[in-house]
Structure 1
């Protein structure tokens, strides 16, 4: 009852939105949404959703280990996520092999996370933030790190987007034409690791799909055109973060809940629209099955 009593309409929510911590949350959430929307399309097309989910858990021992030794949590997340991405990319070339490599690396990382978490008894708040996210606790220093990561990601994706799309859709043909399919795959996993390291601090390890996968899956139900899908996915991610923050201030909710709920609701709405179009015989996006 105590928890329910805390949840309700807040008359002062407009003032809350103007607070420094909320401004940091909007800026940090915007950067993460932009990065997630850009990478999410390729995550779904390349069938790397499991890898994205696994990288978040692989980053967990990095975050708990960083908390244990007093290092920045963002640094620990980034180091372990990138190392995990490199390992998955090196051990798994095809989708089936990549899933086996992902599961193996994930199991080892999870065991480390359990060990570090049991040792970090004085850092339970940091551990909880890694699991469920704490967008309202983003600092000015983290915003600088997020901004740098996002800039690096955008530049890298502009460079590799075209060959990566070719390698993602028809890897055998791309490899036959001299496209470095494996190198592109490893590079993409490293970029995905950076996004995961950021997104984990917004929605947490357990809810990562809400920003990295769900908006892109929703966009691919709506359209199969790559540029349009990336733009729609980014727009959905931004809308979920902004709307979630406003709702959290209005009703005294943890931001992760409304952010994830909005993403989930958008996905369901897109699927419902697709079903209606199919039943009426009207054309739908050829990639709609990715959202099913």
Structure 2
């Protein structure tokens, strides 16, 4: 394992692909941090995993036909989000629907990779991430899609939070709970597609779920939980990328390790607070 010196790391910052990598990580950290607490509150961790499998399928299909992986992953995630939002109308159906979609997406993605005869690192990157392959076009897609997701979320955050915390009362108050569920599933689908290029389909939960799960462990305030989740996600993404550059290992190893360490610390802090109270 070749370990870089800090001087060599500073030299790397002169390259466009390194700067694009860090910008992508920062944008994704913001997006994942904002969505994370709502995903945890709505108990959608399994849904995020299922959506990531369809993002993998879309990315594999894009590789096969020769278009941008990011666009394929985005289409795959949107299809998964719409299917989850439309087919899981009852809570009792949700897990079975997600399981069916997850298995189908994974199998189809493997088929697309098998049909692709080109030797490319993007095949493996779809599963575990390959952030250094992000180009200016992918970065533009990431930034523009993130802005769109955050804009929609800004207009729907209050009713979404209400519907997430107490859906029965929200329905009684006239909140369009079913429509909001589909909208939120689409937002999560877009964020998941963007995450796949950073940490891969198999490790997408490390950014989309773990920071939010850590934040809700130490605060019951939705606003504070969102702020903390953003901080945790940013630290996980940027510190993970920095360690990847220094140690020359896959970025997903460090992103997942940092986010899990933060979660463990928050779980310990939250447990001590509960015992004191």
TM-score range, shorter chain: over 0.9
* Maintained 8 Å contact 1:61/1:109: yes
Q: Pick from 233, 236, 241: which aligns with 1:237?
A: 233
* Maintained 8 Å contact 1:134/1:201: yes
Q: TM-score, normalised by structure 1?
A: 0.91
Question: Deviation string for 1:52-111 (max 9, x for gaps)?
Answer: 011001111111111001011111111111011001110112332122211122222222
Give the match for residue 273 of structure 2: 277
Give the match for residue 3 of structure 2: 8
| Count of matched residue positions in the alignment of Structure 1 and Structure 2 | 276
Q: Pick from 146, 149, 159: which aligns with 2:145?
A: 149
* Maintained 8 Å contact 1:89/1:98: no
Give the match for residue 76 of structure 1: 72
* Maintained 8 Å contact 1:117/1:127: yes
Question: Deviation string for 1:236-283 (max 9, x for gaps)?
Answer: 11111111122122222222111111101101111122233334x24x
Question: Deviation string for 1:13-61 (max 9, x for gaps)?
Answer: 2212332211000111111111111111111000000000110011111
Give the match for residue 195 of structure 2: 199
Where structure 2 has 5 or more consecutive residues not aligned to the other structure, the ranges are none
* Maintained 8 Å contact 1:10/1:249: no
Q: Pick from 35, 47, 53: which aligns with 2:49?
A: 53
- Larger mean Cα displacement after TM superposition, 184-193 or 89-98: 89-98
Aligned partners of 2:245, 2:73: CA distance in 1, in Å?
28
* Maintained 8 Å contact 2:30/2:234: yes
Moved over 6 A (4+): none
Q: Pick from 227, 251, 257: which aligns with 1:255?
A: 251
Question: Deviation string for 1:173-194 (max 9, x for gaps)?
Answer: 1112211111100000000000
1:44 to 2:44 alignment: no
Per-residue deviation, 1:131: 0.3
Aligned partners of 2:39, 2:119: CA distance in 1, in Å?
32
* Maintained 8 Å contact 1:68/1:123: no
Aligned partners of 1:9, 1:15: CA distance in 2, in Å?
10
1:172 to 2:158 alignment: no
* Maintained 8 Å contact 1:131/1:204: yes
* Maintained 8 Å contact 2:56/2:196: no
Give the match for residue 98 of structure 1: 94
Where structure 1 has 5 or more consecutive residues not aligned to the other structure, the ranges are 1-5, 283-292
* Maintained 8 Å contact 2:29/2:237: yes
Aligned partners of 1:107, 1:47: CA distance in 2, in Å?
20
The 1:123–1:31 alpha-carbon spacing in structure 2 relative to 1, beyond 3 Å, is farther
Aligned partners of 2:263, 2:44: CA distance in 1, in Å?
18
Aligned partners of 2:115, 2:130: CA distance in 1, in Å?
22
* Maintained 8 Å contact 1:10/1:251: no
1:17 to 2:17 alignment: no
